[in-house]
Amino acid sequence: MTTDHGLRFCANLGWLFGEVPFEERFDAAAEAGFSAVEYASPYGRSPVELRRRLKDAGLRQVLINSPVGPPGTPTAAGTACLPDQVGEFRDGVTRALDYAVELECPLVHLRAGVRPADVPRDTAFSRYVANVAWAGQLASGAGVRLVIEAVNARDVPGYLLQTQEQAAGVVAAVGSDQVGMLFDIYHCQVSQGDLTTRLEEFLPSIAHIQVADAPGRAEPGTGEIAWDFVFDRLRARGYPGWIGCEYRPANRTADGLGWLTRYAPEGNG
Ligand SMILES: O=C(O)C(=O)CO
């Protein structure tokens, strides 16, 4: 549901409702008033199971990520910029699109990856652009849109894509409506600031937004970002997409959702 207020928020089940096991987070999100969810990795469960959980809770899935390697390995933040991982990357995109189609999920986030020290930046960047272009073509056949996200270097040192300008440049270079930006307000604040200027500049390319406050990455209202100002701007510009709650709740998730009722008074989407 889009309200007159215009902003639609979805719950990231990888980050929110950590008080209960993953399987129970669907119901927890619905009980908290969400009508949509996102999470990075559906791959440990069958699409049939996930579809059932979504349906039973009355939720829709709006974003998944393409697969990444195990934590602590060179592919933990993705394979898209790694010249020796093209096969892995393509297999991962194919798998992600299969899941997205099964879950009726409109967006897949392609993680760029961390550039290895022995790979020149230009080499990693051109591999990345070529991979995203390849994935965009495959995604158009599946009716799914891809998004790419700039991530701050404090949280993920060496991540290839660190600024909104770089992400916008890749979207422009690929030149396909099938690829858009995932603008994470927390990452932008940590790396660059000047949030609303950047949001407004890149709005035509932005297909998804995520939120957390800075510097602690907890709920909006726990840090330095002027959320009234930011959300007013997004509302005034008619941002039509979802806003993913990708934050680490300061306490129990439900206890920290007061901020949301201010910005989505008629329900979270
Ligand atoms: O890894 C992160 O920090 C992300 O924001 C992924 O979406």
For the stretch 229-263, pLDDT in tens is: 999 999 999 999 999 999 999 999 999 999 998 77
Residue 5 pLDDT > 90: no
For the stretch 27-61, pLDDT in tens is: 999 999 999 999 999 999 999 999 999 999 999 99
**Looking at ligand 1, which atom is closest to the CA of residue 65?**
7
Q: Which residue of 15, 151, 160, 183 sits with most ligand 1 atoms within 8 Å of its CB, as the best mutation to test the pocket?
A: 151
Say whether 37 sits in a helix, a strand or coil: strand
Task: Give the pLDDT score at 6.
Answer: 79
Give the distance (Å) from ligand 1 centre to CA of residue 267: 25
What is the pLDDT confidence band of residue 85, given thresholds at 50, 70 and 90?
A: very high
Q: Which residues lie below 8 Å from residue 81, measured CB to CB, with a gap of 6+? A: 112, 113, 114, 115, 124, 125, 127, 128, 131, 160
Give the distance (Å) from ligand 1 centre to CA of residue 4: 30
What is the pLDDT confidence band of residue 168, given thresholds at 50, 70 and 90?
A: very high
**Looking at ligand 1, which atom is closest to the CA of residue 184?**
5
pTM score, whole prediction: 0.95
Task: Give the pLDDT score at 265.
Answer: 65
Q: What is the mean pLDDT of residues 56-83?
A: 97
Query: Would you say the CB of residue 155 lies under 6 angstroms from ligand 1?
Result: yes
For the stretch 185-217, pLDDT in tens is: 999 999 999 999 999 999 999 999 999 999 999
Cα dihedral angle (171, 174, 175, 180), rounded to 10 degrees? -30
